[in-house]
Chains A and B, each alone.
Chain A
Amino acid sequence: MEVVKCWKCELPSEITIQASGFFCSSCFVEYFRQKYRKIIGASKLIRDRDLVVFAFDGSASGCAMLNVISTFQQHFAKANSENMNYKRKNRYITKALHMTDSCNERVKTALESSGIEYVVFSPSEEMKEKYEKQCFKIERFGDETENEFNKKSLQMELLVDKAKEMNAQFLMLSSHVESLAAKTLSVVSLGLGEEIQATAGLCHTYNGLRILKPFREMTKKEIDFYVNATCGEGILPEENKEEEDQSSIKSIQSLAAKFLSDLNSQGKDSNPSAIVRLSNKLKMKS
């Protein structure tokens, strides 16, 4: 039986990326990191000395992004210490931000081992009440869908406020293509077509702060593979949640995620990226 070889080296391939090819583990890790770097570089949004705050949530994609950022920071620090004479581009400063009610040991370990400066904060009840009044909410039927939407909206409001307090220019999220596609589908199902750009676009402005999603072109499969390939470096991914049964799904967000996941399992894995790319092409009518 023929073994498919990695496109970069001659080792047997371990992962297949649609439209990009076959990779072995180490070539894929390199490809993943360079893809992140290319997305940041090509966007030309971040300038030298900008402060980028990365919202770390402890998920697999969060761990992947933490690893990528810490790798690049170590590389830049080494280059700086060796006085290497090369063009310095995108020498932005990154700090991690973790919002929680009770800090998880696993998360703390991950943040400490990454070597990135981090802030862990727990918003007080008064703060939550204050921001609940001013953040964008839907209050038409008071169902589970609206509760989930409003909760996410409040979380975003709190993160943005904290990032602004840290004098950050950017807030980076680690959402991958499937999660963004599910969010886009649920936002459209709620009649909020104007949110499509904010949900799935690479960059949007929220309350004066720019929100970046550099993983919007990375699939869950790529992220899981990356995390498994690099988890020996001290970062452990979150355990996978069990799939919800159709009858227990109570919100549009969960239904949209399950629907896309079912399509993915039938081999229609180009749908999430098609939905996310729509945000580049659509705007709302004035």
Chain B
Amino acid sequence: MPRKLCERCNERAACVLRYDRSILCRECFCRIFEEEVHNTITKYKLFKRGQKVAIGASGGKDSAVLMQVMKILNERYDYGLKLCLLSIDEGISGYRDHSLEEVKFHSNNYGLELKILSYKDLYNWSMDEIVSVAGRKSNCTFCGVFRRQALDRGAWQLGVDIVATGHNGDDVAETVLMNMLRGDVGRLSRCTAITTADDPSGIPRVKPLKYQYEAEIVKYARHSKVRYFSTECTYAPGAHRGQIREYLRAATKIRPHVVLDIIKAGEGFEVKDGIKMPIKTRCTRCDYISSQPVCKACLLLEGLNSGRPLLGIGKTKAGRVKKYKTVKVQSEESCEKKDNCCEKKKSCSEQENKSESITEDEIETCGSTATLQTMEKLSIAAEASDLF
């Protein structure tokens, strides 16, 4: 049975099946992939002539493909960009040390300047050390927050105008779904932006691979013989994103267009007027942009350095202390206000060890007698309040 021919050139044998079920030969597929990235760059005007661009390079498939495609397009279409590589060493042994070897290879191969920043140098903590004290449940929170800041610092040190990251369509779709599951309206409204315009250092970040499928990036890497490090992060199993990734993979099998559809839906979202949003301010310690007086990175570092690694993880918000009280209420016979007890009309009856979270204002206005007792958890919250 003769092999099917490429649908584009009709000359060579087809060997790549795309997400839209078209079949192409290797050369046409690679060319189309590069053209799609070029269309994204020109449509959204990601770069300007003469800019110095740092490519966030981890050694994985996304950044390796991004490096190759940017180099090719820069020459083919004469973007006039000066490219360099920026890597972050989180200090994950058996993972990051191997992937950085690939980055160094690419740096030599393409002749691009490479800057490596490590968590150890920046924060005095490596991810292995963080996981050993904080456990494996929230390690992605530490890594994500620290890496974001580290990228900005590295970009500033390199003196670049823009940072390009290898976030692909699957990453963006997963982020949309994650933010929906959390009900995080603020992040949902901006997670699909292809350019982040308001970084504190003034260095924006772009995602040229935003509309490319992860599976197609793997195919491109294979057919273009791009070297990359393919092992998953040591601390990735169990991450919440993994469950969403599984959903997305199953959904892509049922309906291949689902990734682009989710991105399209996410791009259309806007927060309604009158919804309270976090106000952007500056961290009082490091001057990084933050919605709280102390940014998340400083809060996490404070927790690590003071032996409270879960400070900043979970629902306790920086700057706000939640107090728990044990309320002892008078019996019905003696209380005069039995029907109108407090503004919220709590019934007045004998209760034992009933804990409610009530604000200080409610205590002041409450007519019944109440005793304040801070529980063990509050000792952490009280200590956290020392930060502010």
- Are the chains A and B members of one assembly? yes
Known: A274-B183, A284-B269. 13 other contacts (CB 8 A): A145-B255, A184-B180, A188-B265, A189-B255, A193-B264, A249-B250, A259-B247, A274-B182, A275-B181, A275-B183, A278-B183, A280-B272, A281-B185
Q: Once the chains are docked, how many angstroms separate the CA of A285 from the CA of B190?
A: 12
> Within B240-284, which residues are at the interface with A (CB < 8 Å)?
243, 247, 250-251, 254-255, 257-258, 260-262, 264-272, 275
* Cβ contacts under 8 Å, B270 to chain A: 282-285
Most central of B189, B251, B262 by chain A CB within 10 Å: B251
Give 24 A-B contacts (CB < 8 Å), ordered by A residue.
Answer: A141-B255, A144-B254, A145-B254, A145-B255, A185-B180, A188-B265, A188-B266, A189-B262, A190-B255, A193-B264, A193-B265, A193-B266, A193-B269, A196-B269, A249-B254, A252-B254, A256-B247, A259-B247, A271-B181, A275-B181, A281-B275, A282-B269, A284-B268, A285-B267
Q: Is the CB of A282 within 8 A of B185?
A: yes
Which of B188, B258, B269 lies in contact with A189, CB distance below 8 A? B258
The contact string, 1 if C-beta is below 8 Å from chain A, for chain B 172-184, is 0000110011110
- Complex A-B, nearest 8 residue pairs according to Cβ-Cβ distance, in ascending order: A191-B261, A274-B183, A193-B265, A193-B268, A188-B265, A191-B264, A281-B185, A271-B181
- B251 cross-chain contacts in A, Cβ below 8 A: 189, 252, 255
Note all chain B residues with C-beta closer than 8 A to A256.
247
Main secondary structure of the interface of B (DSSP, over half): helix
Nearest residue, chain A, Cβ from B259: A189
Q: In whole angstroms, what is the CA distance A141 to B256 when docked?
A: 10
Complex: A191 Cα to B250 Cα, angstroms: 17
What's the Cα separation between A143 and B260 when bound, in Å?
A: 17
Within 8 A of B (CB), among A120-134: none
Q: Once the chains bind, are B250 and A246 in contact (CB under 8 Å)?
A: yes
Chain B stretch 284-315: residues in CB contact (< 8 A) with chain A: none
Within 8 A of A (CB), among B148-164: none
Q: B258 and A278: CB pair below 8 A?
A: no
Q: How many residues of A contact B (CB 8 A)?
A: 38
Interface residues on B, range: 20 to 34
**B264 x A275 contact (CB < 8 A):** no
Report Cα–Cα, A25/B189, bound state, in Å: 42
* Interface contact B275-A194, CB-CB below 8 Å: no
Q: Are B176 and A277 in contact (CB under 8 A)?
A: no
A271 cross-chain contacts in B, Cβ below 8 A = 181-182
How far, in whole Å, are A285 and B266 apart by their CA atoms in the complex? Answer: 10
- Cα A160 to Cα B264 in complex, Å, equals 29
Q: Which residues of A contact B275 (CB under 8 A)?
A: 281
| Cα A176 to Cα B267 with chains together (Å) | 27
Q: Is A77 an interface residue (CB 8 A)?
A: no
In the complex, A140 Cα to B189 Cα: how many Å? 27
Does A282 contact B271, Cβ atoms closer than 8 Å?
yes
The distance in angstroms between the C-alpha atoms of A141 and B255, with both chains bound, is 9
**Are B262 and A191 in contact (CB-based, < 8 A)?**
yes
Whether B257 pairs with A140 at a CB distance below 8 angstroms is yes
- Min Cβ gap A188→B in Å is 4
Q: Determine if A192 is an interface residue (Cβ-Cβ < 8 Å).
A: yes
Complex contacts, B183 vs chain A, CB 8 Å:
274-275, 277-278
Q: Do residues B255 and A194 form an inter-chain contact, with CB atoms below 8 A? A: no
Question: Is A250 engaged at the interface, CB distance under 8 Å to the other chain?
Answer: yes
Q: Is A263 an interface residue (CB 8 A)?
A: yes
A150 sits at the interface (CB 8 A): no
Q: List, in ascending order, chain B residues with CB within 8 A of A190's CB.
A: 255, 258, 261, 265
A165 to B210, CA, bound (A): 48
Q: Using an 8 Å CB-CB cutoff, how does the interface string of A158-198 with B read, 1 for contact, 0 for none?
A: 00000000000000000000000000110111111110100
Q: In whole angstroms, what is the CA distance A190 to B176 when docked?
A: 13
Q: Does A153 contact B (CB under 8 A)?
A: no
Query: 0/1 per residue, A23-67, Cβ < 8 Å to B?
Result: 000000000000000000000000000000000000000000000
Which residues of chain A are near B260, meaning CB under 8 Å?
191
